[in-house]
Amino acid sequence: MTDSISALSSPLAADLEISTGIDAIVARVRAAQASITGARAADPARKESFAQAMKRTADVRGRGPIMPYLGTGMGNGPLVELLDGSVKWDMLNGIGVHMFGHGDPRMVAAALRAGLSDLCMQGNLTSNQDSVAFGEFLVAEAKRSSRMSHCFVSNSGCMVNEAALKVCMQKTNAAPRIIAFQDCFMGRSITMSQIGDAAAYRQGIPLSTLVDYMPFYDPQLGARGIEMALWHLKQYIHRYPGQHACFVMEVVQGEGGFNTAPREFFVALMETCKAAGIPVWDDEVQSFGRTESMFAFERLGLGEYIDVVTIGKMSQACACLFHAEMNPKPGLLSGTFTASTSAFQVGLEALRTMRDGGYYGTDGRNAKLHAAFREHASKLVAKRPEWFTPVKDSFGRASTQYVGGTGGMCRFTPFGGDKDRIMKFLQNLFEDGVMAFYCGHGPFHVRMLPPVGVMQPEQWGPVFEIVERSLARTA
């Protein structure tokens, strides 16, 4: 088959005995998964051993994890089994990393094939052909609607964001300033923590990076909001002429609240940047693959304006793509590790499945899954309005838009967006059998990143049955 994973694997993958063995292992995994069909309470007999395991985790990390998650290594699509014997609906998936959930047979087989390779980790000096194929795939998909022509691969979203900033700074002769949207999140390196708009993530870090924050799209203002954002941008350009290395944009904000904006909002800003010689960097580390197109910029028709784009999470390995005019000088981008062979193999399997499996488009699987989420969430809002009080933004304006997001990025807002009550709800929700998290910086929202590769629209039913019970407990 053209473009097949097996053509990129170790020559041993073509060995009939080995391929038969891989098929047998996958079949055993599928058989073991058969008992995982829904949420399940913890086993009381495992309470003490689980507590000891969590203590070991806290001791070695210096503090306990945000949620008491330690898996057995067994799951079934959107469901995962924990060491305490419980089974949860995983609507978080490592903040969107595991697009195909837990134990998907295609991903298990890809990982097994990767285990035949001579390399566990690949790097910029020692690579096999699957690392090249990974970059080629991303460039080919991006080229369909943009000028992207080159790809630098690394093993985290934060590192490819660092690469993107370096490319932009070199192109602008070391311009020291960055323009970013308020409520953005870029990663947790020293530089990315300073660009991200969360003071808690940069406590104790010297502020050496100069960042000018822009308001994101305000749906209550509509066209007037676009005018205001454009005014802010022109003020920065006028105040610091020639000093901006880039404008970094999340076309769908992740940590900031799964905020979206219409095409005309971005076009106005991007055209102004182009006129001023400011590169446009599109950060899609969280949104990549989860909207109605593989690249979110494609859905909005923004490809002609973008100079650099970063992707990650669901792709397993992460990447910084740029067009030929942004291609940096030798020595700027490198790294001991690009990613593991398993990440390349599983990532390619996931990317090709998403591309060819009917996930994209206005009638694709991503859109249908999101529509089902909105249907269930909206019914709950109508059924229990006492849990959904008007949400006030930073200006004190009230909104009754309780359901939002796009594609596989889903959010709803109970309790007026109050952080303390939402955190209590998330704790109850975890205990009751659903894993979720929060997003936004005030108001706060309940964030869900379902495994869109495997989750079916009808599976929102049992998830929202638990959501309703947990909201009732919290209220």
pTM over 0.85: yes
pLDDT of residue 127: 94
Residues 6+ apart with CB under 8 A from 465: none
CA atoms within 13 A on the CB side of 382: 6
Q: Which domains does the chain have, with CATH numbers?
A: 121-356 (3.40.640.10), 365-474 (3.90.1150.10)
Residue 214: both structure tokens together: 């822009």
Residues 6+ apart with CB under 8 A from 159: 187, 189, 318, 335
Give the amino acid at 474.
Answer: T
| pLDDT at residue 221 greater than cutoff 80 | yes
What are the tens digits of pLDDT across the range 402-461? 999 999 999 999 999 999 999 999 999 999 999 999 999 989 999 999 999 999 999 999
In percent, the amount of the chain with pLDDT more than 70 equals 98
| pLDDT at residue 1 greater than cutoff 50 | no
**Exposure class string for 129-167: b at 16+ Cβ within 10 A, else e:** ebbebbbebbbebbeebbbbebbbbbbbbbbbbbbbbbb
Helices 460-474 and 419-432 meet at what angle, rounded to 10?
Answer: 130
pLDDT of residue 424: 98
What are the tens digits of pLDDT across the range 51-93? 999 999 999 999 988 899 999 999 999 999 999 999 999 999 9
> Can you tell me the distance from the alpha carbon of 108 to that of 130, in angstroms, rounded to the nearest whole number?
17
What are the tens digits of pLDDT across the range 334-389? 999 999 999 999 999 999 999 999 999 999 999 999 999 999 999 999 999 999 99
Q: What is the DSSP string of 82-112?
A: ETTS-EEEESSHHHHT-TT-B--HHHHHHHH
Q: Which of 84, 82, 79 has the alpha carbon at shortest distance from 103?
A: 79
What is the pLDDT of the chain when averaged over all its residues?
95
Q: Which of 401, 160, 420 has the alpha carbon at shortest distance from 257?
A: 401
What are the tens digits of pLDDT across the range 231-248? 999 999 999 999 999 999
Q: Are 130 and 290 in contact (CB under 8 A)?
A: no
Antiparallel, parallel or unpaired: β 409-412 and 445-448: antiparallel
